[in-house]
Amino acid sequence: MKTSLKVLFFLFVIITGLTSCNKAKKIQKGEYQTTQTEPSFGDWVIMGIITEPDNLNPFMGISAYSMYIYPLLYQSLTVIDNISTKEKPLIAENLPLVSEDGLRYTYQIRSDATWDNGSPILAEDIAFTLKIILHPYTNTAVIKPYYNNINNIELYPDNPRKITFILKEKYILSSYSIGSMSILPRYIYDKENLMEKFSLQEVINGKETLKNNSDFMKFAESFNAPSRLRDPEYLRGSGAYLLEKWETQQQLVLKRKTHWWGYKHSKELSAFEAYPDKIIYKITNTVNTAITEMKAGNIDAVFGIPPKDFEEVKENDIMKRHFNFYTNTQYAFMYIGLNNLPKSNTNPALGDIKVRRALAYLTDVDKILDKIYYGYGTRIANIGLTNNKEMYNPEFKPVPYSFEKAQQLLDEAGWKDTNNDGIRDKVINGKKYDLNLDFITVAGSVTTQNMALMIQQSAKPAGVKINLISQEGNVFIQRLRNRDFDMYISAWSVPPTPFDAHQIFHSKSIDVSSNFVGFSNSEADKLIEQIRVELDPEKRKKLYYELQKIIYEQQPYIFLWQPKERIIIHKRYQNQVVFDNNPGIAPNMFWTPKEYVKYKEK
């Protein structure tokens, strides 16, 4: 089994689903107060985003913005409720019926779930969608690993809305991976019914046996066509909105469907709430442009505003009058990665636990959080996030800043300044090394570069020389994959589901996945493997604590904090709910009192 990027994805630029509709409702007061208490349709929400999504095919997109838009266009069997962080049925009537051995997941589709043409959503549509993902020649590499544990499916002739997924082995994320699959309509994506000719088993095993089959290959070619990655006629699901148009580097316009099966369920789950007539994603390219556009009344909501800009804009009179400001602790953590497994031709210093721990003591996280991040974060000591009840263990305390303790550890590790040049050194295998470390950051990320600068300054008096190297995003990623660094700064975004640490901490993920730091520990490997198949939350919790103890002691990362999202929303909207799961905002939930409606279709 592999962990998909959909479960745990990497944010190399520090940027920085849906909630229960009966919680956290907010009726505006003051200048935008209203007597209207029931939601009404109408108005638009213009969202400001910094970069353009790469595409809106739910199985090919990799950008964060793509993932935030998917739930408006497509639906899945289940959805993660962002307030309770619990899995809830969406297209499915209930959560899956799971067999005792954890290998069979059975779903019943709602009887009123329909496609845009009025035809029912059936189990065959789900089977068709799974064939797309597992087709060996579709460009779905990003999401394929998420479903490679599915061995087969079972359909029921007497019940066309029932489907059972049969797994190869049990896995803690099976319910979430199956449930979160965006379901696609066959009548749009396969008008010639090409995939109906092949069973799921044939598709899974078809790389060699079907590579010369014209129908098999024709479907893949059609699905992969670059023109269809942005085509409004092709990017269709059973969600509340349609992609009306996409103007490159300008905006994406989503239009609410007039006749949609989900409206009747709006009081049941906010994934069924869809009040704005249009949701427009306006591409600003820079934060300053986004703020300027908000002041001018051309953008209604943004998220991911850098801390410094967020602090400044909160004090602007125009913004205070017309906008609300929110912060919420994200399901993510920022960290400094340390090269635990230096290559033979590089500085071996960080292969020593004592040196890694010394760097943790030399990093004044509280000061950095205060001065650079303006306090928009909650300190953490480990992978157990404070808003994850299953994993958070308050017994683990963040490593405090201690110059004296760092000095002691470096001395014990044999790093001393033998030539009085201000830099510690050590002879290893007959070769003398200076304690000279390359710290790479992403070009353009002023926040992370300033953080690295503070760490460089605090390490220097201890005899540790840190070289700051700024790299373009693609080069940065490649250096991580090649383990061509000593230190780097980044973040992981972690959905509120059971945490699978295989991708970033298992030794098998070194050089082939996202264990960029080369962390390797046999006991940690065993615990990660046990956690992946332990379906009992209480038993899993004990295993998590054991794993965290090893990670805490081995110091593969310097854990910094859980960032707090910075969100700005115009006051004319009611039902402004923010939540911890990224991106922390669901514009489909906003509704505007009739006296404050700003936009109407011309």
d(CA 379, CA 226): 43
Pick the most confident of 407-416, 435-444, 495-504.
407-416
d(CA 66, CA 55): 6
What is the rounded average pLDDT of the residues 325-343?
95
Contacts of 240 by beta carbon, 8 Å cutoff, 6+ apart: 72, 256, 257, 260, 262, 263, 272, 274, 588
Residues 37, 574: contact at Cβ < 8 Å?
no
Question: What is residue 29's predicted lDDT score, i.e. its pLDDT?
Answer: 52
pLDDT tens for each residue of 523-549: 999 999 999 999 999 999 999 999 999
Within a 13 Å sphere around the CA of 387, how many CA atoms are in the beta-carbon half?
Answer: 24
Q: Which residues of 462-500 are buried (b: 16+ CB within 10 A; e: fewer)?
A: bbbebeebbbeeeebbebbeebebbbbbbbbbbbbbbbb
pLDDT tens for each residue of 67-100: 999 999 999 999 998 777 789 999 999 999 999 9
pLDDT tens for each residue of 255-299: 999 999 999 999 999 899 999 999 999 999 999 999 999 999 999
* Domain chopping of the chain, boundaries: 17-328+566-602, 332-563
Average pLDDT of the chain is 92
Question: What is residue 142's predicted lDDT score, i.e. its pLDDT?
Answer: 84
What is the rounded average pLDDT of the residues 124-139?
97
pLDDT(173) > 90 = yes
Question: What is residue 599's predicted lDDT score, i.e. its pLDDT?
Answer: 95
Question: What is residue 8's predicted lDDT score, i.e. its pLDDT?
Answer: 47
- Amino acid present at 278: K
Identify the CA nearest to 449 among candidates 372, 517, 516, 376.
Answer: 372
Pairing state between β 278-283 and 44-49: parallel
Question: What is residue 508's predicted lDDT score, i.e. its pLDDT?
Answer: 94
Identify the CA nearest to 486 among candidates 466, 462, 508.
Answer: 466
Question: What is residue 20's predicted lDDT score, i.e. its pLDDT?
Answer: 31
pLDDT(414) > 50 = yes
- Residue 513 binned pLDDT confidence (cut-offs 50, 70, 90): confident
pLDDT(30) > 70 = no
pTM exceeds 0.85, yes or no? yes
Q: Look at 434 and 511; give whichever has higher pLDDT.
A: 434
Which CATH number describes the domain made up of 332-563? Answer: 3.10.105.10
What is the rounded average pLDDT of the residues 507-513?
91
Class of domain 17-328+566-602: alpha beta
Give the tokens for residue 329: 């602790």
Question: What is residue 96's predicted lDDT score, i.e. its pLDDT?
Answer: 98
pLDDT tens for each residue of 570-579: 999 999 999 9
What is the rounded average pLDDT of the residues 159-167?
98
pLDDT tens for each residue of 3-27: 333 444 444 333 333 333 333 344 4
Identify the CA nearest to 150 among candidates 130, 132, 135, 123.
Answer: 130
What is the rounded average pLDDT of the residues 195-204?
96
Could you tell me the end-to-end alpha-carbon distance of the chain, in angstroms, rounded to an integer? 51
Identify the CA nearest to 96 among candidates 86, 105, 109.
Answer: 105
